[in-house]
Structure 1
Amino acid sequence: MPEAKNRTPSDAADPRPLHERIATDLRRAILVGDLPAGDPIPSTGQLKERFGASSASVQKAVSMLKDEGLLQGRAGSSVKVLDVRRQPMTPAAYSQPAEDGQAYRWLSEAERNGRRPSIRLLEVAETTPPADVRAAMGLESKGKAVLRKQLLSLHGEPCELVHSYYPLELAAGTPLESKAKIKGGSPKLLADLGYPPVDTVDEVTAEEATNEEYEVLQLPRQVAILRTLRVVYSTDDRIIEVTTMAKAGNLYSLRYHF
């Protein structure tokens, strides 16, 4: 990893504990490939000099990254980078309705890429959505929608927590209200109901995890989530679904083609 030519920002500029700042810089270098898998990280002495840190701060930083599954090694030997890469998720590949008799496109796309996907339905309920979802749906402060909450996993590890909200008048009397998985996924069902998804708008932010996200996604400490607020439109600009999706920012990226 190239040595930094400028000094580390002062505590006044960056109030985070020094070990967290060290871990952040090393994490970025690992995830972008500046520290390749199998290579040792800079020595404790090098990191102490670079960051003006104590041995204790360096060791705390290294311990954090070991807990995140980015580093491997023990005291007295070199600590090496594990083969961990962010997995790109491509929403365009699975946002359209599945073909008749086919699985939800998120499942089939994951399998096509050699992943072992699964979906667990956590909750189906009539509820008042968060304020940003209500605003997108045009609901008043106590307006309600049908929620379908699901946990998406790859290779048995949780990867995404999904809250999907549907207008009451659209969901009434349909499988959207059922406490069962929807064959082919919601895009297929909506299309079959006469509301094909024709336009999707995503707003992606990086945020700290909520308690639920931290626990369900089994996140390590100090890892941001990627939160997507997705609004799906059918013909005549009718909103048929608003979904929030949370992914671990250290494990996944979002890939869009324009």
Structure 2
Amino acid sequence: MATSDPVYLRVVEDIRRQINDGTLPPGAPIPSRAQLTRKYQVGETAARHALRVLASEGLIVGRVGSGHYVRERPILAPLHRWRFLDHPAPLAADLQSQGRRVTWDWHSEPAEAGPDIARRLRVDETATLTRTHYIFRSDGKPLQLVTSYESLEFAAHTEEERRSLVARMYAHGIKITEIVESVHTRVPRPAEIDALQMAAGVHVLHVERTHWAGDRPVETSDIVIPGDRFRIMYSMPV
């Protein structure tokens, strides 16, 4: 390592290597700051910073009064994006088919489109839309956040009306012909970290989904999924 590199990186790289090669398995304790200073011949500030970096990378977790431990590596559950499209909550239906019980809460409110949603729905930036927030849970643990935007005339206002969007649009004489999704990863926002109870260093999968009726976008959603809990599955018929 170049001599200009910060001292703490020597500690970070060695512990990261031990975690990745299995020398330090999930659940193994990480040396304390005092132990790190002795082992690597670094100052307490460097040892503290190294632990902070490893936690921010999601490699270790701190436990109050107990120290730091190698973070458990979760098994990623598959989310099949093409299944249950006619269900009011495709995520819930998919996970329930895998034997998990899923519940969700939602509330709607009028909201101005703004630049991004106006572009996605091809409406004026000042147009008033129905914005609906969802949070999905399994065994009390939050799984997914969704924010949906659609025209006021199409919105559901009761649980009874909250059938699948495809069926709801069909009731208005609109046939959904295509669902387009764009996926990227990003750092979660503070409110998302709290809502999804995420560990430090974990990114989210952000799915931008739009329902189309021919060449007309009729609904668009932002779906936020913890990147350490799920893998997104797609099917591409040939």
TM-score normalised to the size of structure 2? Answer: 0.72
| Residue aligned with 1:124, SS | strand
- Give distance in 2, aligned partners of 1:58 and 1:166: 46
Equivalent residues in 2 for 1:2-151, closer than 5 Å: 10=5, 22=12, 26=16, 35=22, 40=28, 54-61=46-53, 65-67=60-62, 79=69, 82-94=72-84, 96-98=85-87, 104-121=89-106, 123-151=107-135
- Equivalent pair of 1:151/1:158 in contact (CA under 8 Å): yes
**1:249 aligns with one of 199, 206, 227:** 227
- Give distance in 1, aligned partners of 2:96 and 2:179: 24
- Give distance in 2, aligned partners of 1:29 and 1:137: 49
Letter in 1 for 2:143: C
| Higher alpha-carbon deviation: 157-166 or 220-229 | 220-229
* Unmatched runs of 5 consecutive residues or more in structure 2: none
Identity over the aligned pairs, expressed in percent? 14
Structure 1 residues 139 and 22: alpha-carbon distance in aligned structure 2, compared to 1, 3 A threshold: farther
| Residue aligned with 1:93, SS | coil
Q: How many aligned residue pairs are there?
A: 223
- Equivalent pair of 1:160/1:248 in contact (CA under 8 Å): yes
- Equivalent pair of 2:114/2:126 in contact (CA under 8 Å): no
Equivalent residue, structure 2, for 1:187: 166
- Give distance in 2, aligned partners of 1:187 and 1:212: 30
**2:212 aligns with one of 220, 229, 233:** 233
Structure with greater strand share of residues? 2
| Residue aligned with 1:134, SS | helix
| Residue aligned with 1:201, SS | strand
- Equivalent pair of 1:200/1:233 in contact (CA under 8 Å): yes
- Give distance in 1, aligned partners of 2:18 and 2:105: 34
- Give distance in 1, aligned partners of 2:157 and 2:132: 9
- Equivalent pair of 1:37/1:84 in contact (CA under 8 Å): no
Deviation at 1:163, TM superposition (A): 0.8
- For the aligned residue pairs, the C-alpha RMSD in angstroms reads 4.1
- Equivalent pair of 2:132/2:149 in contact (CA under 8 Å): yes
Structure 1 residues 237 and 248: alpha-carbon distance in aligned structure 2, compared to 1, 3 A threshold: same
Letter in 1 for 2:94: E
Equivalent residue, structure 2, for 1:166: 150
- Give distance in 1, aligned partners of 2:206 and 2:100: 22
